[in-house]
Chain A
């Protein structure tokens, strides 16, 4: 068990709705990253938060937004849901900004979002 928890584990939403996914990072970790993973594919980087500031963003539209709180937990918000947003959303925490030499990312179990 990594100590990273995500909620909810499963969620069904209707196209056009908004959704908020939550992540509690591992104790002592100040960096949280979010990923979208389609079935059978590698996770795609959405964005990273370091000490409550966005610190890097992948190729996702502005309707994907996030927050990091003073306790380093994080939220991923998606507005105007589309069918293609259906995926497993993963949160990863790490002990320091950036993921370069020797830094490990610890993942939660993910939230399975289905948009109908």
Chain B
């Protein structure tokens, strides 16, 4: 059982569509982070959410932290081919940093 479960695991959409990726856990996190990873590269940090209920926007990306700080979502508006990649949520309930199971997004031109 993974500490952080993401859904969906795979997502293939047309350019211009909207999508939402979910990250769920039974544990409470003081913060959650979202990363994007391209093939052959390490994950790159997109955002850190800290406060329950917090919403952060990064251009066309909207991140939300659940009120109970157990879950988070990433919404992408008008997806573009450049958004293609593996999206990972991550957090540290203790001293160890755990990643979610990952969502592989493909945006078709």
Contacts and interface: CB of A to CB of B under 8 A. Distances in A.
Interface stretch (A13-21, A63-71, A104-112): A104-112
Contacts of A97: 95
Contacts of B108: none
B45 A101 contact: no
A4 B98 CA distance: 19
A45 B97 contact: yes
B48 A45 contact: no
A43 B99 contact: yes
Interface residues of B, number: 29
Interface residues of A, number: 31
A92 to B, nearest CB: 7
Contacts of B102: 40-42
A35 interface: yes
B42 A107 contact: yes
B96 A112 contact: no
Interface of A: 2, 4, 33, 35, 40-45, 48, 55-56, 58, 90, 92, 97-110, 112
Interface of B: 2, 4, 6, 30-31, 33, 35, 40-45, 48, 50, 86, 88, 90, 92, 94-102, 104
